């Protein structure tokens, strides 16, 4: 097993008091299949408690009543251990009000807040596409985040950004086909990416654990690691054997109500402690698939 991740112990979550399906912006959503509010709250509570039980910290942000997708807190913005945050600039207009509340929250906690754009002007960036892994900030682009945002972030923060182009409509954020486990391992679903990005992915991750179709579409890649615990919405016997073999405790939760909106454990939890130190490079650098 590689070294533990240097992040993933402090999270922001949004309580699903106004969670519903008002529109369709991904293949999982249907206005005819509404979440059960009481069950959703119970499932959300189970995720929050599992993080705390694993040794993590959770801060809770109140959900706007005009932002039913806000429960997917991973997309509020990218927060770092250095006290910096890059606010999400949502591609779809119905989600942009979330950023107003997120901006207030970050600034009230003294994050140095930056943006790639706002109100549809400037490149879109959604933080569910971004992870620190190895010596880089790895960012997926295509369905939600635009390539121009990678240049902006690299130069703004003086970091190395490695881009992966997402081409699968069901894997619209990088947090669906990519889940860092430790310094060398990650759950990956290569068919989410174009051919060049698949090659790049295997260069980024020394020890990939490749998900099957069934595992990927059960949201197994949308999991999170807190110290030596991995919290997952689904885990096949094969995956459980591999993960426990790495010394991880596997916790599986029923988060099915949130799958109706196209997200699961990772989408509902925003890490606030990404460490950019290893990705630092003077002037910034962007590496895109050849």
Q: Looking at residue 133, which CATH number applies to its domain?
A: 3.75.10.10
Residue 159 lies in a domain: yes
Distance (Å, whole) CA 82 – CA 276:
7
Helices and strands: H and E segment counts in the chain: 7, 16
Per-residue tokens: 14? 């949004």
pLDDT at 290: 86
d(CA 287, CA 290) in angstroms, rounded, equals: 9
Q: Give the Cα separation of 144 and 174 in Å (integer).
A: 10
CA-wise closest residue to 54 among 5, 16, 127, 1: 5
In a domain, 5, yes or no: no
16, 255 Cβ separation under 8 angstroms: no
Q: What is the pLDDT of residue 116?
A: 98
pTM of the complete model: 0.98
> What is the count of structural domains for the chain?
1
Q: Which of 80, 74, 72 is nearest to 179 (CA)?
A: 74
Question: How far apart are the C-alpha atoms of 233 and 170, rounded to whole Å?
Answer: 17
CA 75-80-82 angle, 5° bins = 160
Residues β-bridged to residue 230: 225, 250
Q: Tens-of-pLDDT digits for all 290 residues of the chain? A: 789 999 999 999 999 999 999 999 999 999 999 999 999 999 999 999 999 999 999 999 999 999 999 999 999 999 999 999 999 999 999 999 999 999 999 999 999 999 999 999 999 999 999 999 999 999 999 999 999 999 999 999 999 999 999 999 999 999 999 999 999 999 999 999 999 999 999 999 999 999 999 999 999 999 999 999 999 999 999 999 999 999 999 999 999 999 999 999 999 999 999 999 999 999 999 999 98
In a domain, 3, yes or no: no
**Predicted pLDDT at 274:** 98
Longest dimension (CA), the chain: 50
CA atoms within 13 A of residue 156's CA, in its CB half-sphere? 17
Q: In this predicted structure, what is the pLDDT of residue 102?
A: 98
pLDDT (0 to 100) of residue 164 = 98
Asked whether residue 168 is domain-assigned, the answer is yes
2 occurs within a structural domain: no
Within a domain: 270: yes
Q: Quote the pLDDT of residue 72.
A: 98
76 in a structural domain: yes
Q: How far apart (Å, rounded) are the C-alpha atoms in residues 252 and 223?
A: 10
**Separation CA 79–CA 13 (nearest Å):** 13
- Domain of 160 in residue numbering reads as 10-287
Choose among 64, 102, 97, 98: nearest CA to 85: 102
193: DSSP letter: B
pLDDT at 92: 98
Residue 4: inside a domain, yes or no? no
> How is residue 158 written in tokens?
């003086």
| Rg of the chain on CA atoms, in Å | 17
């Amino acid at each position: 097993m590689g070294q533990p991740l240097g992040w993933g112990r402090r999270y922001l979550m949004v309580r699903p008091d106004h969670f519903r399906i008002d529109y369709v912006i991904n293949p999982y959503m249907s206005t005819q299949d509404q979440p059960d509010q009481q069950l959703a709250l119970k499932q959300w509570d189970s995720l929050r408690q599992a993080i705390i039980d694993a040794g993590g910290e959770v801060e809770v942000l109140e959900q706007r009543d005009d932002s039913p997708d806000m429960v997917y807190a991973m997309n509020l913005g990218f927060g770092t251990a250095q006290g910096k945050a890059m606010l999400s600039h949502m591609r779809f207009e119905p989600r942009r009000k979330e950023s107003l509340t997120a901006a207030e929250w970050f600034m009230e906690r003294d994050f140095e807040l930056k943006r790639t754009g706002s109100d549809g002007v400037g490149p879109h960036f959604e933080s569910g596409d971004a992870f620190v892994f190895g010596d880089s900030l790895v960012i997926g682009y295509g369905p939600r985040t635009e390539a121009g945002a990678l240049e902006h972030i690299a130069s703004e923060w003086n970091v190395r950004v490695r881009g992966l182009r997402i081409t699968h409509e069901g894997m619209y954020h990088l947090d669906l086909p990519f889940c860092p486990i430790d310094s060398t391992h990650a759950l990956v679903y290569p068919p989410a990416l174009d051919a060049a990005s698949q090659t790049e992915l295997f260069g980024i991750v020394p020890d990939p654990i490749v998900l099957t179709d069934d595992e990927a579409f059960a949201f197994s890649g949308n999991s999170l690691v807190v110290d030596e615990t991995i919290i997952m919405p689904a885990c096949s016997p094969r995956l459980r054997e591999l993960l426990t073999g790495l010394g991880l405790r596997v916790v599986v939760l029923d988060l099915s109500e949130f799958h109706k909106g196209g997200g699961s454990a990772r989408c509902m939890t925003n890490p606030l402690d990404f460490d950019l130190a290893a990705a630092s490079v003077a002037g910034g650098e962007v590496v895109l698939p050849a």
